[in-house]
Structure 1
Amino acid sequence: MKTIVSIGVFVLAIVFCATTASRADTLQDIVTKRKLVAGIKTDYPPWGMRDKDGQIVGLEIDLVRDFARRIGQNVGEAIEVELVPVVASNRMQFLQQGRIDVMIATMNDLPERRKVVGSVYPDYYSSGVAVFARKDAAINDFESLGGKPICGVQGTWYNRDWGAMKGAEMVIFPGAPEVEKALLDGRCVGWLYDDSAFVARQVTEPAKWKDFKIATPVVGDVPWAAAVRLEDLQAPIGKLLADTIIDWHRSGMIADLEKKWGIPPTKWVAMMHEACNTGAPQCATTRPPTN
């Protein structure tokens, strides 16, 4: 924690001393307004959801609040958090448009997305792709999707690669709540999505999903990136968020949050905890070159 605080103080000192010809620095804006505006999911329990009182809660919301706490701790001021719900189809646009300062919203870290928003490295979580299907749907691998109605969420990259290209009749909905209803109503026999979302549902709502199973192998494991605007990636806000993610892994905070929210421990989080405590390349703030 001392290391993160000292880095943050240094970063903020740069911010306050710098002048810009165009717009103010995002981190300076946050401190000036005493508010961090974050894009989060409300349709992805338990990473982001509404509780029985309508409040937005979840693992990613805990991460956002911790980031705001660290910013405030560095400047001796409380930083308010404004949570802005996003979905897969608009989360990057919200960043581009300046409607949010940061985005922590289950976004797979893909090369094409790094051209649109500033995907912060290292990543903070990871998931694969699978089909959650009725047990009697005769689905046991991706080749068995041919001709079957499969639900998907708008804006997810694997609707084409692991759905349509496998012959599935993709039925696309704006978000997870609409997919859930369609699946339970029988309008689809399966749901193509992140395996992490299915595991969480099986753990937290076993009775509701007793007739369903993760029917295909889990493929395409892709880490999740927090994001800032593209021009902010190497700016103070991007660098401070990268340092914070390293500390989340190093301290075991993300593993603790998995336990808090009833998520089975994942090998990827355990690997990152070890990597960040041994200085492995997976836990650097500089993305390794890709082939």
Structure 2
Amino acid sequence: MLKIGTKDDYVPWSYRAADGSFKGMEVDIGNKIAKVLGVKTEFVKVNSANRFEFLAQGQIDLMIASASDTAERRKIVTFVHPNYYSSGYTVFLPAAVKATQWSQISGQTVCAVQGAWYNKPAQEEFGIKVLAFPGTAETEAAMTQGRCIGLLEDDNQINVRLSDPKWAGYQMPLPIQADTPWGMAVRQADQSSPFYYFVAGVISEMHRDGTLLDLEKANGIKNSAFLIRMHDALKDHID
């Protein structure tokens, strides 16, 4: 049994379906890894605030939870390379907010999910105030209640929102910051283990053969520049 930690509120990457099962692109990746390994999967709910703790404590074997691969985080977990995705951060704003530069929202309060790596740099660099909540649903509720002017999120998530009629009248007008790759992670003790190299090999193959691009499409996500670039770099070339 392979225990995989993933989120349950991050459509379309990892979320709960109506029947309670986990669905999404990251879930598909986890199932692919388990299938090649020849074991069954058990998905464990994590969030941005506890996902590293769950991994370090051994509650999960592998984390696939939209975690940006940063130097600070590499001190507590081991990220599997190559990375499997990428995103930057910006703010999801109502169309009524006429801002095209970050300086225009300096001093304003934005809602964000606790533990998101970009909360601190966004505050320090742009002078915004962050009101953090445990999950995405709470941030949305706070924004619609007027407790913040918008949502501080990764650009991939905002792109998905913008395709949903529910969010007509919202926009992503500010420049995207700090595009950073996402990494699945194992415990530091597994850094040089056969398990680490196995997972790395599966992800490399999924880049090479276009599986990750296919999974994006299957989950209603427009093919990202990162996955296109990785596929072109690793695919078979015929001279």
TM-score, normalised to structure 2's length?
A: 0.95
The corresponding residue for 1:187 is: 147
The corresponding residue for 2:27 is: 61
Provide, for residues 33-77 of structure 1, a one-character-per-residue CA deviation record: whole Å limited to 9, x for no partner: xx00000011211000112222210000000001000000xxxxx
**Which residue of 28, 32, 40 corresponds with 2:6?**
40
Q: Which amino acid aligns with 1:184?
A: T
The corresponding residue for 1:215 is: 173
Tell me if the contact between 1:145 and 1:163 (Cα under 8 Å) persists in the aligned partners. Answer: no
The corresponding residue for 1:236 is: 194
Aligned length: 237
Provide, for residues 96-148 of structure 1, a one-character-per-residue CA deviation record: whole Å limited to 9, x for no partner: 00000000110001011111001111100001111111111233221122121
Tell me if the contact between 1:163 and 1:192 (Cα under 8 Å) persists in the aligned partners. Answer: no
Provide, for residues 77-107 of structure 1, a one-character-per-residue CA deviation record: whole Å limited to 9, x for no partner: xx22110011111111111000000001100
Shift of 1:278: 5.7
Q: Which amino acid aligns with 1:183?
A: M
The yes-or-no answer on 1:90 pairing with 2:50 is yes
**Which residue of 187, 202, 217 corresponds with 1:259?**
217
**Which residue of 107, 126, 139 corresponds with 1:166?**
126
Higher helix share: 1
The yes-or-no answer on 1:157 pairing with 2:117 is yes
**Distance in 2 between residues matched to 1:134 and 1:148, nearest whole Å:** 14
Shift of 1:164: 4.8
**Which residue of 84, 94, 103 corresponds with 1:124?**
84
**Distance in 2 between residues matched to 1:165 and 1:276, nearest whole Å:** 36
The corresponding residue for 1:13 is: none
Shift of 1:163: 2.9
Q: Which amino acid aligns with 1:192?
A: L
Structure 1 gap segments, 5+ residues each:
1-34, 73-78, 280-291
Q: Which amino acid aligns with 1:131?
A: V
Shift of 1:187: 1.8
Structure 2 gap segments, 5+ residues each:
none
Tell me if the contact between 1:102 and 1:227 (Cα under 8 Å) persists in the aligned partners. Answer: yes
| Amino-acid identity (%) | 39
Q: SS of the counterpart of 2:166?
A: coil
**Distance in 2 between residues matched to 1:141 and 1:197, nearest whole Å:** 20
**Distance in 2 between residues matched to 1:38 and 1:143, nearest whole Å:** 40
Tell me if the contact between 1:129 and 1:195 (Cα under 8 Å) persists in the aligned partners. Answer: yes
**Distance in 2 between residues matched to 1:235 and 1:68, nearest whole Å:** 17
Give every structure 1 segment of 4 or more consecutive aligned residues whose post-TM-superposition deviation is greater than 6 Å: none
Larger radius of gyration: 1
Tell me if the contact between 2:208 and 2:236 (Cα under 8 Å) persists in the aligned partners. Answer: no
Tell me if the contact between 1:91 and 1:103 (Cα under 8 Å) persists in the aligned partners. Answer: yes
The corresponding residue for 1:18 is: none
The corresponding residue for 2:18 is: 52
**Distance in 2 between residues matched to 1:220 and 1:278, nearest whole Å:** 30
RMSD between aligned alpha carbons?
Answer: 1.3
